[in-house]
Amino acid sequence: MTITRIDAGARMSQAVVHGDTVYLAGQVGAPGESVTAQTKAILVQVEELLARAGSGKSKILAATIWLADMSDFGEMNAVWDAWVDGQDAPARATGEAKLATPDYKVEIIITAAR
């Protein structure tokens, strides 16, 4: 089975396709932006990477969402819920974590089918 790497660098790839499964690296928005703005930007990136991998948001199997502060859960969910729109909701976990820089408030990791 082949492995395809999208936007591969020395440290990581933004997406890896193995068979009919697509794994996205953790996606983040612009540092310093609001939780809403970062979440919206991340979901645009997710859609673009999935399209490049031959998938789409209706094929997302699982999402792991890291928030720098769980008090932002409702704000992030408002964006997420509008994006999912009640259809094809994936398995999902959300937790609080210290992200790569304090300017990041949200990071989303996606696994999808092709």
Topology of the domain covering 26-109: 60s Ribosomal Protein L30; Chain: A; (3.30.1330)
- Note the pLDDT of residue 54: 97
Mind listing the pLDDT tens digit for each residue in 38-91? 999 999 999 999 999 999 999 999 999 999 999 999 999 999 999 999 999 999
Predicted TM-score (pTM) of this structure = 0.96
pLDDT band at 92 (very low <50, low <70, confident <90, very high): very high
pLDDT band at 107 (very low <50, low <70, confident <90, very high): very high
Residue with tokens 């976990």: 93
Q: Where are the domains of the chain?
A: 26-109
Nearest in space to 41 (alpha carbons), one of 106, 109, 112: 106
